[in-house]
Chain A
Amino acid sequence: MCLAVPAQVVSIRGNLAQVSVEGALREVHLGLVDDVEVGDYVLVHAGFALERWTEEDVREWRAILDGTWPGRTE
C-alpha cells in the first residue's frame, strides 16, 4: 500500500505547511519530520510529511522523471 509523493514546501505556519505537488497545493502536517524549511521537498502521505529530501534526492527524482537516471550503480 501507501501512495506517497514528493512535494515542495511553499510556506510554513507552526506545524502546518502548504506544499506543492507540481502546482497542486495541499496543507500537510510537519509533526513527523524535523528542520523543514520553505523550498525543501518532503515526501507526503495522507496529509503528513514523512521524510525530508536532500537536494541530491530531488535531483535523482527529477532525473528519473526526465528519463536521464542511470540507475543505482554500486
Chain B
Amino acid sequence: MTLPRLRTDRVLLGHGGGGLLTKELLEAVIIPALDNPLLHPLDDAALLPVEGSGGVELAFTTDSYVVSPLFFPGGDIGRLCVAGTVNDLAVKGARPLWMSLGLVLEEGLAIAELERVIRSIAETAQAVGIRVVTGDTKVVERGRGDGLYINTAGIGQVVAPAPLGPGCIRPGDQIIVNGTLGDHGMAIMAQRSGISFSTELLSDCAPLWDLVWMVLQSGVELHAMRDLTRGGLAAALCDFAESSGYGLRVRESDLPVRPEVRGACDLLGFEPIAVANEGKIMFVCAQESAGLLMATLRAHPRGQEAAVIGEVTAEAPGMALLVTSIGGERIIDMPPGETLPRIC
C-alpha cells in the first residue's frame, strides 16, 4: 500500500470539514505515527475494556469546538460542546458519565459572555447527567482566537445489550434518522459574513442520550448508530458503506429536510445531505425492528420527525447510493472539505 500524499504543504480550511480532506490529513499525517488497534476504527469514540472488571467497557471520546458566532440561533458553544461529547458516547451505546473542559480564551473576551457559556454547559450537562470532572484554562493574545475555543473529552460506560458499529450491519437493515437534516449547518451559515442570507432556522444542537437510552431499552435489534455532524448524512453513509463493505441506499424523497434548509441550499448550491447537524443520529436496525424503532423515536421530542430513509443492500458493495426523485440512481460521495457557495 502506498501512503496517501497530501497535495499541500499548508493546512487548509477544508481539512476541518469532516470530509475527504480531513480523511486525507488523518491518513497521511496522523494515523501512520499513532496507529493502534483501539484507535484504528476511527469511530465517534474508542471502546476500552476495563481489565479485571468482569466485562465493563468504557467509551472514550474527544472533540474541539470552534464555532463562530459563540451564540447562535438554537444554541451556543457551551451547549454544543456538551451535546457533541454526549452524542459521540451515546452512539457507541455508552451512558455518558464524565467529561473534561479545556477552555482556550482570547484576551478581551467579555466575562459576561464566558459566564453565559459556562451556565449553558452546566444546565446542559445536568439535564443529561454527565459531570464536568476536570478542566483547563488558557488565554491567547487578542486576535489569536475567536473569543473562545473549547476542547472536551468524555467517558461513558457501555450499556448497549449487543455490539454496535458498522461491522454489525447486514443486508436488509433499515436506515433511520431522528429528524430533519442540515438545520445546524444552515443556521450557522446564515450567521457568517460574506454570505448574507438569513433564516428563522434554529440549530438542532441537543444531547441525545435520553433518546438513545429509550431505543436501547425498547427491544429494537439495533446494529449501528452514527452522530451526523460535519459532512452530514453523506459522510456517515460513505463511512458505513466503506467499513461494512455493503451498499447503503437511501431515497431522496424520504429524506426529511425543512423547506428553508432546502431553499438556502438551492440558493448557495449545497446539498442538504452534506450539511452538518448537531442533534441527529443515523440508526441502522434489523428490518423487522424498523416499526418499533420509528415508534420509539416518535415518542421522544427529538424524534418527532424521524424517517425511514433507506436500507442496507448486498448490491453495490462499499457504495452509498441515492435513489433520486425522478427514479434515477447515483453515488453519494464523501463531501470534499470546506463547503463553498457556488453560482454554477
A67: min CB distance to chain B, Å:
8
Which of chain B's residues has its CB closest to A67's CB?
B325
Which of chain A's residues has its CB closest to B200's CB?
A23
Instruction: Point out residues on B near A: beta carbons under 8 Å.
Output: 186, 190, 196-201, 258-264, 266-267, 269, 325, 342-344
Q: Let me know if B269 and A25 touch, CB within 8 A.
A: no
Total A-B residue pairs with C-beta atoms closer than 8 Å? 54
Query: In the docked arrangement, what's the CA distance between A5 and B270, Å?
Result: 13
Q: Let me know if A2 and B343 touch, CB within 8 A.
A: yes
B262 contacts which of A1, A22, A26 (Cβ < 8 Å)?
A: A22
Q: Is the interface of A mostly helix, strand, loop or mixed?
A: strand
Q: Let me know if A22 and B269 touch, CB within 8 A.
A: no
Q: Let me know if B196 and A23 touch, CB within 8 A.
A: no
Q: Let me know if A3 and B199 touch, CB within 8 A.
A: no
The contact string, 1 if C-beta is below 8 Å from chain B, for chain A 16-29, is: 00001111111100
List residues 1-45 of chain A with CB under 8 A from any CB of chain B. 1-3, 5, 7, 20-27, 44-45
B197 contacts which of A24, A45, A46 (Cβ < 8 Å)?
A: A24
For this complex, 29 residue pairs linking A to B, each with C-beta atoms less than 8 Å apart, are A1-B343, A1-B344, A2-B343, A2-B344, A3-B266, A3-B343, A5-B263, A7-B263, A20-B263, A21-B260, A21-B263, A21-B264, A21-B267, A22-B260, A22-B266, A23-B200, A23-B258, A23-B260, A24-B186, A24-B197, A24-B198, A24-B261, A24-B263, A24-B264, A24-B267, A25-B198, A26-B197, A26-B198, A44-B267
Q: Let me know if A3 and B260 touch, CB within 8 A.
A: no
B199 contacts which of A1, A5, A24 (Cβ < 8 Å)?
A: A24
Q: Which residues of B are found within 8 Å of A22, using beta-carbon distances?
A: 259-260, 262-263, 266
A70: min CB distance to chain B, Å:
15
Q: Let me know if B197 and A3 touch, CB within 8 A.
A: no
Which of chain A's residues has its CB closest to B265's CB?
A24
A23 contacts which of B263, B325, B342, B343 (Cβ < 8 Å)?
A: B263
Q: Which residues of B are found within 8 Å of A2, using beta-carbon distances?
A: 343-344
Q: Let me know if A26 and B267 touch, CB within 8 A.
A: yes
Query: In the docked arrangement, what's the CA distance between A5 and B263, Å?
Result: 9
Q: Let me know if A27 and B263 touch, CB within 8 A.
A: no
Given A3-B342, A21-B264, A45-B343, answer yes or no on A26-B259 (Cβ-Cβ < 8 Å). Answer: no
